[in-house]
């Protein structure tokens, strides 16, 4: 892919560009005249190159471009570096294909104070434009690691001292069971699977627990990002 060859990716919109300038490595920012006027304070010290509306639209992936695009270094780091010496809370995306969902899980993990997000197996690239927008800048706030070998990724999480929890609607451990608190409150890696089929069976089999979020109404299931938010914050609550 072009991103990998160049070692860079595009960040679009005021919020994402703001976070990129604060926490990332930005090479240049392309801005229309209107965007320069609208975001003068944000761009005061940035390496800005004025462009026409047509050029900005050509760079944009959105229907209504904001006229503001930054070129940044890729963010992913080796898995061992992302996990660090003593991780407490990690989100593992295993086979998530939708970039909006992947970006939202990254946003939720950031909000919950997770140490890292691991994108394992066939999970979408976190530098995908839709994923970056869905993260609302959170891709710049916490370590991201990509590991094509999903089994190796969860193995490294376990080796780092993390209990593996697979989010599974048919899991044997109820998230609201009082006995779950001791598990949830320890160092954990939450594993979230793809939209259609959930956590891949081979990975779920390696988990220490398969945890279900109970559904008390008649909904068939929970949205992936919603389930991730519930699970990650359950660990935060159990620690407190």
Give pLDDT tens digits for 7-65.
999 999 999 999 999 999 999 999 999 999 999 999 998 999 999 999 999 998 888 88
SS (H, E, C) the chain: CHHHHHCEEEEECHHHHHHHHHHCCEEEEEECHHHHHHCCCCCCCCCEEECCHHHHHHHCCCCCCCCEEEEEECCCCCHHHHHCCCCCEEEEEECCCCHHHHHHHHHHHHHCCCCEEEEECCCCCCCCHHHHHHHCCHHHCCCEEEECCHHHHHHHHHHCCCEEEEECCCCCEECCCHHHHHHHCCCEEEEEEECCCECCHHHHHHCCEEEECCCCCCCCCCCHHHHHHHHHHHHHHHHC
Report, as an integer, the average pLDDT of 110-114. Answer: 98
pLDDT digits (tens, 9 = 90+) for 132-153: 999 999 999 999 999 999 999 9
pLDDT for residue 205: 94
pLDDT in tens, 210-234: 999 999 999 988 899 999 999 999 9
pLDDT score for 89: 98
Q: Which residue has the higher pLDDT, 179 or 207?
A: 207
**In the β-sheet with 163-167, what is the strand arrangement from edge to edge?**
144-147, 116-120, 89-94, 188-193, 163-167, 209-212, 173-174
Q: What pLDDT was estimated at residue 63?
A: 81
Which tens digit of pLDDT belongs to each residue from 155-192? 999 999 999 999 998 889 999 999 899 999 999 999 99
**pLDDT for the residue 88:** 97
Q: Structural domains in the chain?
A: 2-73 (3.30.1330.30), 79-239 (3.40.1280.10)
In this predicted structure, the answer to whether residue 1 has a pLDDT above a threshold of 80 is no
Q: Are 222 and 215 in contact (CB under 8 A)?
A: yes
């Amino acid at each position: 892919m072009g991103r990998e060859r160049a070692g860079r990716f595009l960040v679009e919109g005021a919020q994402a560009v703001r976070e990129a300038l604060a926490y990332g490595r930005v090479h240049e920012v392309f801005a229309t005249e209107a965007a320069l006027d609208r975001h003068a304070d944000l761009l005061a010290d940035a390496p800005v190159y004025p462009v026409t509306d047509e050029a900005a639209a050509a760079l944009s992936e959105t229907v209504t471009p904001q006229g503001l695009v930054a070129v940044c270094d890729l963010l992913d780091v080796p898995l061992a570096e992302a996990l660090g010496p003593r991780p407490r809370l990690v989100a593992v995306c295993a086979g998530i294909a939708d970039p909006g969902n992947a970006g939202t899980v990254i946003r939720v993990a950031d909000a919950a104070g997770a140490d890292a997000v691991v994108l394992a197996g066939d999970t979408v690239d976190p530098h995908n434009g839709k994923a970056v927008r869905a993260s609302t800048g959170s891709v710049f706030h916490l370590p991201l690691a990509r590991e094509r070998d999903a089994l190796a990724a969860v193995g490294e999480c376990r080796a780092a001292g993390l209990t593996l929890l697979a989010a599974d609607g048919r899991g044997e451990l109820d998230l609201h069971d009082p006995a779950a608190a001791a598990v949830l409150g320890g160092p954990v890696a939450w594993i979230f699977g793809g939209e259609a089929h959930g956590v891949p069976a081979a990975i779920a089999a390696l988990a220490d627990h398969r945890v279900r979020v109970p559904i008390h109404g008649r909904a068939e299931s929970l949205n992936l990002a919603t389930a991730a938010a519930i699970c990650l914050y359950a660990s935060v609550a159990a620690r407190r």
